[in-house]
Amino acid sequence: MQKHAALLVIDVQPDFCPGGALAVPDGDAIIPLINRLAPRFETVILTQDWHPADHISFASSHPGKQPFEMIELPYGPQVLWPSHCVMGTPGAALHPELDIPHARMILRKGGNRLVDSYSAFLEADRASKTGLDGYLRSLGITDLYLCGLATDFCVAWSAEDARAFGFNATIIEDACRAIDLNGSLAAAWAKLAAAGVARISSTLPA
Ligand code: VGL
Ligand code: ZN
């Protein structure tokens, strides 16, 4: 892979895999593929969803509310999730089967109790930066390839923001899995196409 390309591996964590707190169907099935893709990239960035136990995106932080209900927060609509990826817990770790020793950076997001962060670039207030854009820019990266969990939330928001920050962005579709909540997957692909995000299959031999 070219020097100016990087692989973003989004939120491959036990809590998003079968048996986890916010399990994405078949979420762990992408791990062997990601392990085979990663050596093609000199620059690999791993992200971790990483929340305090009383995070505002958790249904448990809103008495009377159930997981997967929507609420309005100062920054806009928010899905309420089961408590997941609580900082320091085993479910929030990088998945133990990920085998990417040359990963250059591990980015944690969602640490502000009052603001969710699906995107690896910008928190849900659409104003607070994670710093990833500057990091990538300083390395001369122009092209991003994205994989991980979940296609329709953290992968989609990260890819859309990558475009907004001026990067070329390509989602490796078979190296992602979706939550698909109330049509969220189709809605995400429509937004991604409009944002100029490309969509490919890894086409790797088994
Ligand atoms: C995610 C919901 C809540 C994701 C993170 O990684 O897609 N989804 N937090
Ligand atoms: Zn989260």
Protein residue whose Cα sits closest to atom 4 of ligand 1 = 154
pLDDT at 203: 78
Q: Which domain holds residue 22?
A: 5-52+86-200
Q: How far is the CA of 36 from the centre of ligand 2 (A)?
A: 26
| Residue whose CB lies within 8 A of the most ligand 1 atoms, among 8, 15, 22, 46, for a mutation test | 22
CA distances from 19 to 25, 65, 85, 106, 124 (A): 10, 23, 13, 24, 27
Number of domains in the chain: 1
Residues assigned a catalytic role: 11, 109, 154
The fraction of the chain above a pLDDT of 70, given in percent, is 98
In a domain, 13, yes or no: yes
CATH of the domain at 187: 3.40.50.850
In a domain, 205, yes or no: no
pLDDT at 176: 98
Q: How far is the CA of 118 from the centre of ligand 1 (A)?
A: 6
pLDDT at 204: 55
In a domain, 151, yes or no: yes
Range with lowest mean pLDDT among 45-49, 114-118, 124-128, 199-203: 199-203
Mean pLDDT of 136-153: 98
pLDDT of 206 > 70? The answer is no
pLDDT at 65: 98
In a domain, 127, yes or no: yes
Distance CA 175, CA 155 (A): 11
Which ligand is nearest the CA of 84, by number? 2
Q: pTM to 2 decimals?
A: 0.97
In a domain, 100, yes or no: yes
In a domain, 70, yes or no: no
In a domain, 69, yes or no: no
pLDDT in tens, 63-89: 999 999 999 999 999 999 999 999 999
Mean pLDDT of 34-50: 97
pLDDT of 91 > 70? The answer is yes
How crowded is residue 156: how many other Cβ atoms within 10 Å of its Cβ? 27
User: Is the CB of residue 149 below 6 angstroms from any atom belonging to ligand 1?
Assistant: yes
pLDDT at 2: 78
In a domain, 61, yes or no: no
Mean pLDDT of 137-155: 98
pLDDT in tens, 171-181: 999 999 999 99
